[in-house]
Structure 1
Amino acid sequence: MSTGLLTEAILEFPDNRLLIDLCGEFDRNLTDIEARTGVQILRRGNQLAVHGPEDAVSGAREVLEALYDRLENGRAVERGDIDREFRLQDHEAPDEQLEMFTGGKVEIKTRKKLIEPRTDAQKAYVRSLFENEMAFGIGPAGTGKTYLAVAVGVNMLITGAVDKIILCRPAVEAGERLGFLPGTQEEKVDPYMQPLLDALNDFLPGKQQAKMREEKTIEIAPLAFMRGRTLSNAFVVLDEAQNATTMQMKMFLTRLGEGSRMVITGDRTQTDLPRGVPSGLADAERLLSHVPGISFNYFTAKDVVRHPLVAAIIEAYEGDTQA
């Protein structure tokens, strides 16, 4: 809850068209900011008057100015951008390790959109993907582990840093095996790989993606199909790594070839392996955490960027003493 003396701040925005975009349809963006801070925002011509407790007004002002700056730079403002500014407004001190990114901001350019991490953990994760040849992203669902990894992969592909993208997952499902599904190999694989396909669809136009898959510039395959390969000049993502066995994980990690990067993502609480079979993700974490050149990045419910209820659900399960 905000504290402090009641105050008012008057913000003036020279471009009325951008101010309209800042306010959002039916002033939806202003309503969101009011709900997050407890302030009241009134529009007066090309000005916004922000009323409320002093610290809340200051926070709302920072967010409004950051969003207007975004619009001035030709970018749209969506509800997710408002959420990101609130998460990051208290952590804007320059980080020397982020100087490789323009203006200290972490941005991932893809063919369809510009991706910006919304939390400090996501920023650190993206930085580690650019800086390390092997990186682990570990945490609950909805924290952007896979989404950001695929975005970085697309960025490296279109900038020529790698020649191909390889996306894989363990084909672990309850009561159904890959071989019993009808269709071609690709048709059998796609249901297991749909989360990876969803991410790709956000970053690449459909026709370009289809052509890249046809030319094997982008490969999507079950983990088992990696055996015997050496993956060179590629950006390789292993998703749902908690469902890889110890032997599968060792097999995958030792596929790393010259000029390649590997990203391993997983959620330790969502293992679907048979009872008694240890998770390869847990073993990798135990054995490799001190190996130079390998980074481990961790997420919590605070980093969830899906619906707010997702974070509440995760926290409820994590706090269950009967589990």
Structure 2
Amino acid sequence: MSNADIRDVTLVEAVNMAMHWEMSHDKSVVVLGEDIATNGGVFRATVGLKDAFGFKRVMDTPLAENLIAGTAIGMATQGLKPIAEFQFMGFIYPAMEQIVCHAARMRNRTRGRLHCPLVFRAPFGGGIHAPEHHSESTEALFAHTPGLRVVIPSSPQRAYGLLLAAIRDPDPVIFLEPKRIYRAVTQRVANNGEALPLDTCFTLREGDDVTLITWGACVQETLQAADKLAEQGVGCEVIDVASVSLLDRETILCSVTKTGRAVIIHEACRNGGIGAEISASIAEAAFLDLQAPVVRVTGFDTVMPYYRNEQNYLPQVEDIVHAVEQIIGL
């Protein structure tokens, strides 16, 4: 592989790179959404795609999320592989009826005659000083819907590989991109078209004392907390869930069985979050291996506050460190 095929890219650039690769190699892949063609999207995730592939494959839509979702579903059932962008996750709710009642059920409803190979992309999460509707972390709504995969990358490498896998999947995928780290992290990514597995957790760091389980932007704070705890002699195993649905329980349970302790970190509100599902799975399958109760470090059960209080809402490094110190007894 030549050096030109390996690039230092941000997460949002990796998303663009994955779409460009797949569109270059599969003419059935199309992209649609608000301002995604001429302007390249609000975060410039689709910049350059219209110039490369033309307006028939990269389409600006009206400001109508229900229309975007319905159009994408129709395309998917007729042989195309649409990638539909919602400008922010907080704007996805008008499309819920289409996503939940049609995209997620298409294969079952038609007894396999039709399927729905499409990706719904949306920037999500807080941390950019936006209003509350632009800062939603409601991944649990979609993880609770049978027939949908929910995938959340935490780095440029995983954004590239997981988006390729999502586009190639024969069923609908909700692909949530943590905009707080769109440009905060740079990695070398091989632009070789190699996908990463869906429905799989990634172990980012090995340790023997406690398992830290997280996804999305919170992976950054979790790794920083693991570094601080290492200075105290605490070995943290860090797991990036990546696919919150379908959930790779096996990797999580193997780790917790080894360490005997678990802290789950996510910025979504606590009540009914994915962390509760993971905690229940640990209690059901690894209870006798636990040396301390499972602890969750999460956002609050409130609307995301405006920017002055945003950092008070989002889990911080010191919150994770404190949770680990509590269950280890430091």
TM-score (norm 2): 0.24
Whose helix fraction is larger, Structure 1's or Structure 2's? 1
TM-score (norm 1): 0.25
